[in-house]
Amino acid sequence: MRQVIGVLVAAAMLISALAASAQTLHGTIDWNRRVALGVGVSGQILAVNVTPGDAVHTGQVLVELDPTSYEIALRKARNSEALYAAELQEQRADFEREQTMFDEGSLSSVRLKLEQLKLARVESAHALAALEREWAEYRLGLAGLRAPFDAWVIASGFAKGQFVNHTADHPVTIDLAERGVYAAHVLVDGETAGGLSPDNEMTVLVAGERFVGINTTAGLEPVEMVQESARYLVKVFFQSARLIRPGTSCTVEFP
């Protein structure tokens, strides 16, 4: 009986010691990543496919510009490339004939050199046409604004029929916040911040639900002073499939 009591007392002391060594601080939730996206080319808005509050996935088209002018530019570039490709094929055939004649001794080296220069000019023109076609394809792709990652749509300044200029000083944007990963923000003293590492086992509690931290970062500079004591911002990142609004209160358990 005494042995059982001794074991229970030791266990209680161990639990008490572990609880004392742990530190619990209150903080708030914020997005892990938030971006403002603008279109990469100018044009008239053909469609706005999302509204604030929507959940979007990587690669989803958020906004579509009228692609007509960019499609025309691409067709023009492709036609130009095709013409130079045909000319290049013909010029190569001519050069092969001239090379054969030169090898047989019936063509001067000067004439062969001229044919080489012609071939080089056509090759250069064809390469430039290929680059112009790639550039036209790239610009056509920019006529659709896509989500760079799984996200929540926070705000949008786009409207159907609106003309947008991508070089404007204050371009129209759509705001996205990463979906699935959040950051718990807490303020700690310098000693606590200095003792943290990315692989520390942290726990975040939000509305009674527990989340395991997947990474931790501590700021290098203080963000505020409390009674002459510096406070540093610590971010504990965790995953959650549900929406957690920024500003939500949380509790972070430090080791």
Identify the pLDDT of residue 244: 95
Residue type, 174: I
What pLDDT is attached to residue 7? Answer: 43
At the topology level, CATH places domain 23-32+179-254 in: Elongation Factor Tu (Ef-tu); domain 3 (2.40.30)
Residue 153 CA to residue 53 CA, distance in Å, equals 5
Q: How far, CA to CA in Å, does 29 sit from each of 99, 182, 223?
A: 74, 7, 17
3-state SS assignment for residue 63: strand
State the pLDDT confidence band at 224, using cuts at 50, 70 and 90.
Answer: confident
Task: Please tell me the distance from the alpha carbon of residue 215 to that of residue 183, in angstroms, as a whole number.
Answer: 9
CATH code 2.40.50.100 region(s) in the chain: 34-59+144-176
Statement: 34-59+144-176 belongs to CATH 3.30.70.20: no
Residues of the chain with CATH 1.10.287: 68-141
CATH 2.40.30.170 domain locations along the chain: 23-32+179-254
CA-closest candidate to residue 203, choices 140, 161, 250: 250
Residue 228 DSSP symbol: T
C-alpha pair distances (Å), 120 with each of 45, 115, 126, 218: 43, 9, 10, 59
The 10s digit of each residue's pLDDT in 129-185 is 999 999 999 999 999 999 999 999 999 999 999 999 999 999 999 999 999 999 999
Instruction: Return the CATH number of 68-141, one of 2.160.20, 1.10.3470, 1.10.238, 1.10.287.
Output: 1.10.287
Q: Residue 2 has what pLDDT? A: 53
Lookup: tokens for 63:
């906004």
Give this prediction's pTM. 0.77
For 205, the 3-state DSSP assignment is strand
